[in-house]
């Protein structure tokens, strides 16, 4: 795809960057201006204005000189505050890292975006240290979901909260984020965006603040599937091998266990519409039990990899700066303190067996389909006021997407709501290294859903 023809419709949102009719400098100026508008309140923790303008100028000069066009030539991109950007501190959205020194170099994921011509706009807000699917942050404020009704701010979803809003509010082409248990797909689902979580090993994690070294994945949020494919190719330094097939040639599984539990009526209705649309287009859609998904609770019974591995990273800092942590985050990190080395090794072994069990049951399908999350975005205020409400919503949001991380798989969240309704996400997913098949299937599904409206 030629990024100068990125499918962003200025008629849908006048703030969205129509790169094909602008210089890169103009696109970056609009992105920086959008970062200061009310829709982006609490979105950016720091902006990289000088670097962004320099990248735009370089892009415009190269274009004027007739140089080969880079894949992201001058396109504005936001960066989650977990990734090192040369010349700027990286703080994980936490007050406990307020004294962090500027990074001496870009992490690999950022370096690849920059080398592809991206203009980096700034570090975006997140759930502190990426430890929540809700997206609230007591230190820097919580960005409101752009889909919120007037006067009722809804959660953005997390942990890539600010990154998703930077895309949904029309300021940037893509947002670099991370996904440990759904942190790309949850905010994408709640904001009507596309979030692709690739197989973890395909994108480097050096130069990032970890949550779980076993599960963390560097990936991105975009507005459509074609753009997700473009950005994934850059982050993974590979050319996705797309083999487009009509829906009539695809076979999808719909797991009943866990993934369809306690769906909000609006989500259940939207998911049923998707399945009918795909069936009518000739796709084979088969419900399967996939009972081994019922073992997820047991795998996470002691806090899972996130608790154990975050405790290893945070224990020294918590010993001296616990008062600077979000208490809800510190509580979950401390669950790892009681996990023994034997427990941790047993968890890895149990995961390996579980992955084998799941993979054997799904290997005959092109992809699996599930609601990304079982609910639409709730209001922010009740979740700030009540720990019980917060943890209940957080658990529900993480339930479906976390399956894919435990599977070491890949997944894409795709908007599937009716126009004018609050966003709802469809998750298209598969096992490790099924990325290209999931992306190709998502392209076909996206087209079918667009034709159904």
CATH number of 249-297+350-452: 3.90.1300.10
What digits encode the pLDDT tens for the residues 397-440? Answer: 999 999 999 999 999 999 999 999 999 999 999 999 999 999 99
Mean pLDDT over 123-137 rounds to 98
What digits encode the pLDDT tens for the residues 67-118? Answer: 999 999 999 999 999 999 999 999 999 999 999 999 999 999 999 999 999 9
pLDDT number for residue 190: 98
CA dist 318 and 94 (Å) reads 12
* pLDDT of 244 above 90: no
Mean pLDDT of the chain: 94
Whose CA is closest to 227, among 435, 3, 410, 433? Answer: 3
- Which residues in the chain are classed under CATH 3.90.1300.10? 16-236, 249-297+350-452
**CATH class assigned to 16-236:** alpha beta
What digits encode the pLDDT tens for the residues 277-308? Answer: 999 999 999 999 999 999 999 999 999 999 99
CA dist 193 and 20 (Å) reads 21
Mean pLDDT over 38-47 rounds to 98
Give one word for 175, left, alpha or beta, with left for phi > 0 and alpha for psi -120 to 50. beta
Mean pLDDT over 25-38 rounds to 97
* pLDDT of 59 above 80: yes
Whose CA is closest to 419, among 12, 6, 7, 9? Answer: 12
Any long-range contacts for 148-155 (C-beta under 8 Å, 24+ apart)?
Answer: 148/377, 152/379, 153/379, 153/380, 153/381, 154/190, 154/377, 154/378, 154/379, 154/380, 154/422, 155/190, 155/377, 155/378, 155/379, 155/380, 155/383, 155/393
In what helix (H) or strand (E) does residue 195 lie, and over which residues does it extend? strand 194-197
User: Annotated active-site positions, please?
Assistant: 80, 159, 183
Whose CA is closest to 221, among 181, 148, 172? Answer: 172
DSSP assignment of 319-372: HHHGGGS-HHHHHHHHGGGG--HHHHHHHHHHHHHHHHHHHHHHTTSSEEEEES
Single pTM value for the model: 0.95
What digits encode the pLDDT tens for the residues 150-170? Answer: 999 999 999 999 999 999 998
User: First-to-last CA distance in the chain?
Assistant: 25
What digits encode the pLDDT tens for the residues 388-399? Answer: 999 999 999 999
pLDDT number for residue 17: 41
């Amino acid at each position: 795809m030629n990024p100068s023809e990125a499918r962003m419709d200025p008629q849908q949102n006048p703030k969205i960057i129509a790169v094909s009719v602008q210089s890169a400098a103009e696109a970056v100026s609009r992105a920086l201006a959008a970062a200061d508008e009310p829709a982006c309140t609490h979105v950016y923790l720091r902006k990289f204005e000088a670097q962004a303008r320099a990248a735009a100028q370089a892009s415009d000069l190269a274009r004027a000189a007739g140089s080969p066009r880079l894949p992201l030539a001058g396109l504005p991109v936001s960066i989650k505050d977990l990734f090192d950007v040369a010349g700027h501190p990286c703080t994980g959205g936490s007050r406990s890292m307020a004294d962090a020194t500027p990074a001496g170099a870009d992490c690999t994921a950022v370096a690849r975006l920059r080398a592809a011509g991206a203009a980096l706009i700034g570090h975006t807000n997140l759930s502190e240290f990426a430890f929540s699917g809700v997206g609230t942050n007591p230190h820097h404020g919580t960005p409101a979901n752009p889909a919120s009704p007037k006067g009722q701010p809804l959660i953005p979803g997390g942990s890539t909260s600010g990154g998703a809003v930077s895309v949904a509010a029309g300021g940037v082409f893509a947002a670099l984020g991370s996904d440990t248990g759904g942190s790309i797909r949850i905010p994408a689902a709640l904001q009507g965006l596309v979030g692709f979580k690739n197989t973890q090993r395909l994108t480097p994690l050096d130069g990032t603040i970890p949550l779980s070294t076993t599960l963390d994945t560097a990936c991105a949020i975009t507005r459509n599937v074609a753009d997700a494919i473009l950005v994934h190719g850059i982050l993974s330094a590979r050319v996705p091998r797309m083999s487009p097939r009509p829906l009539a040639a695809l076979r999808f599984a719909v797991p009943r266990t866990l993934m369809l539990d306690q769906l909000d009526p609006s989500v259940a209705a939207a998911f049923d519409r998707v399945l009918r649309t795909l069936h009518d287009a000739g796709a084979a859609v088969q419900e399967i039990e996939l009972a081994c998904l019922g073992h997820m609770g047991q795998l996470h019974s002691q806090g899972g990899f996130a608790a154990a591995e975050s405790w290893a990273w945070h224990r020294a800092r918590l010993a001296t700066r616990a008062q600077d942590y979000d208490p809800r985050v510190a509580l979950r990190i401390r669950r790892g303190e009681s996990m023994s080395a034997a427990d941790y090794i047993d968890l890895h072994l149990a995961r390996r067996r579980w992955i084998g069990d799941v993979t054997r049951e799904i290997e005959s399908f092109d992809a699996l389909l599930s609601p990304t999350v079982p609910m639409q975005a709730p209001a922010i205020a009740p979740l700030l006021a009540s720990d019980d409400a917060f943890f209940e919503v957080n658990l529900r949001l993480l339930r479906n997407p976390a399956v894919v991380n435990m599977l070491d798989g890949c997944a894409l969240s795709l908007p599937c709501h009716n126009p004018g309704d609050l966003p709802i996400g469809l998750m298209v997913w598969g096992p490790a290294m099924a990325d290209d098949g999931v992306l190709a299937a998502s392209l076909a599904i996206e087209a079918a859903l667009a034709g159904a409206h």
